Structure 1
Amino acid sequence: MRLTVHHSHEVLPLWQDSLSKLLLAHQLTIDTAHALGDWHLATFNDRVVGLAISQNDQLCFFAVRDLTRRRGIGRYLLADTLRKLIEQGQPRISIDLSQVAEHESAGLQAFLRQAGFYADGSQWYLDL
C-alpha cells in the first residue's frame, strides 16, 4: 500500500482506531477536529499516519504519528496539503505555534524552516 493524502472529512471504519490515537496524543476527538476546518488525512497500510487541518490560509493542526516520524510522511503530507491550498488560490499560509507542546515545538520549527516557512513570533508563514 502507498502513502496517500485524502482531502476529506470522510473517515473509513478501518481508520478509526489509528486516527483516534493520533488525535488523542493532542487531546482532540474526531468531533472537535472536524470543527477545526478542512482535513488532509495521510494514510499508509490502511492506517492514519498524519493529519493536517486547514482553514482558509491557516494550518490549524499538523501532526504525524510519533511511531512513523522521520520517514518523509510529514513532508509528503505538507506538500500535498500546500498543493491543495494553492489550488484554492491561497497566496500565503500561516501556522500558529503558540499552542504547540514545548517538547514538540523545536522539532516542528525545524520541520517548518526546512519546508521554507519563516517565523514572526509564534506565527510561521510560507509565501506561495
Structure 2
Amino acid sequence: MRISRWVVGVAIVVASVGLTGCAQDNSPAIAPVTKDVGDLQGATVDLVVGQSLDINTGDLAVDSYSGKVDDTGVAAFSKGRKDGGTTYNPGVKGLSAGSTKVVLSNSNGGIQDVTFTVDVAKN
C-alpha cells in the first residue's frame, strides 16, 4: 500500500513537471505589415519591436531583391526565397525602437532602388 502511494505521488509530480513545459507564451502575436514594393518609395513604415514588414514583389522574383539597412540595431533585412513549394517574400523586421533608412536594390538591371524609412516603436 505504501509503495503504491509513493508511485502515485511520483506520477503526479512527473505529470505536473511535464505540463509545465506546455505552458504557452501569452504575449499576443504581432501581425506583419504587408506593402507592395512599388508603394514603398519615399514612404515611412511604422513597426513595433518584433513586427515584420512583408514586401510583395509583384511579378519580380522574391529573391531578386537585396536590402541595406542603415541602422542594423533598429531593423534587419531578410532576403526573399523559395523553399520547396513555399515562397517567402523579402522583409524587414523591427529589432529595437528607433528609425532607419532602408534601400532595396534589384538584381535585374534597370530597376530603380527603392528607399524608405522604417520607424520602430516599443510594443
Per the normalisation by structure 2, the TM-score is: 0.27
Larger helix fraction of residues = 1
Larger strand fraction of residues = 2
Which structure has the larger Rg over C-alpha atoms? 2
Higher relative contact order (CA 8 A, sep 6+): 2
Per the normalisation by structure 1, the TM-score is: 0.26
